[in-house]
Amino acid sequence: MSPYCTVEDDDDSSLVLVNGSTNSNESDTLEETVTAVADPRRFDHLIGHLHDAVVEFVIDDGEPIVTDVNPAFVDLFGYDRADVVGKPLNECVVPSWLEAEATALDERTVAGKVNYRRVRRETADGLREFLYRGIPYETDDGNCRGFAVYTDLTEARRNQSRVDVLNRVLRHNLRNKVTLVAGCVEGLLEELEDDDADPTVEQLSETARKSVDELRALAREAGELQRIADASVPDDPHVDAVPLARSVAGQLGRHYPGGTITIDLPETLEVAATDRLEVALESLLENAIVHNPSDDPRVRIEGGYDCEKWAFLAVADDGPGIPPVEREVITGESEITELRHGSGLGLWLVKWTVETFGGEIVFDTSRAGGSRVTIRLQRWNGEA
């Protein structure tokens, strides 16, 4: 039997048993013990040692205002306590384009409802993905207060998606292409024995060549993905995206002379990234040209600063557009399966490169009816 337990009698009164006794002196000792256990500082101790970021807030005119944060918040978000206490929580951690989502969550909080959702939030190092729990409560004086708890999902989700994509795409796509090449080679060998089969031999040879080229592209992209996974990011990454974009446009313009690449960029576009950004831009531009059936594919590179802290680079084309299934898998709206994993590694290469620098990619429709893929990155603040 536990030293302390409560036994209720028939008239709902409670007798406290201490080591099986109801001695009044021992009851006094128990009361002191219960009081000590109920010390509210125990919650401060717990929250202070959690690895999850915890924000305490008070609702003021429908908006959560930060009253305190735990050390894990400082570590995960990179903001000092003094920089956020007394300020609106959304102003500190919600990027401008996600304000509507945050407002909807705040409305639930004001209504006394608990929030439980996967969100992207802005840290000092860029966007990260969190499991967010908003837990409101009402104080005796009628004020609405609460806690926001953030569990960092960024690395776990990135690593899992990398494993899934490499497993699904490489196993599925490479297997299919190798099978196709093998079949073409066998057909060529059979047809070569027939002097009158020249057109068929030519067609089979062309199919084999294209498939081999695609295999090589997959292998190259897989190598780039591995380099992304292994690469470290400096504490203060900085690169001017304009010369990178112009260099990539020039290279691909020479390689695909039938296409037209238009550049609409400011003189400089300094972002928190490294020259690895060039790999992402090259992949976007090449995809826009290669997957456009037009004899004169048109691609436009745009960029600029869309708000105080963020910059963007967009690649727009007049092609058939990226299939919805491709976009949904890349954005995480659909699960990766045997049949839904994307047709290649190009867009994954872009996504993971950009996310390495705390940015994101957004899919939209271009003014010409094709695809518009936007890379959003933090502006470089000029501080070492």
Pairing mode, if any, of strands 126-138 and 144-152? antiparallel
CA distance 128 to 360: 10
pLDDT, block means (10 residues), the chain with 384 residues: 36 37 51 57 76 94 94 94 95 94 95 94 92 93 92 75 65 68 69 62 70 68 65 81 95 89 95 91 90 90 91 94 80 56 69 89 91 94 64
Position 94 scores a pLDDT of 95
Position 193 scores a pLDDT of 59
Burial profile 287-323: b = 16 or more Cβ within 10 angstroms, e = fewer: bbbebbeeeebbbbbbbeeeeeebbbbbbbbbbebbe
Position 239 scores a pLDDT of 94
Position 18 scores a pLDDT of 35
Position 295 scores a pLDDT of 86
Supply 374's token pair: 């936007």
Position 16 scores a pLDDT of 35
DSSP class of residue 19 equals: T
Position 114 scores a pLDDT of 95
Supply 231's token pair: 């690469």
Residue 291 in contact with residue 319, Cβ under 8 Å?
yes
Position 384 scores a pLDDT of 43
Q: What is the pLDDT of residues 196-229, one digit of tens each?
A: 556 776 677 667 767 766 776 666 666 666 666 6
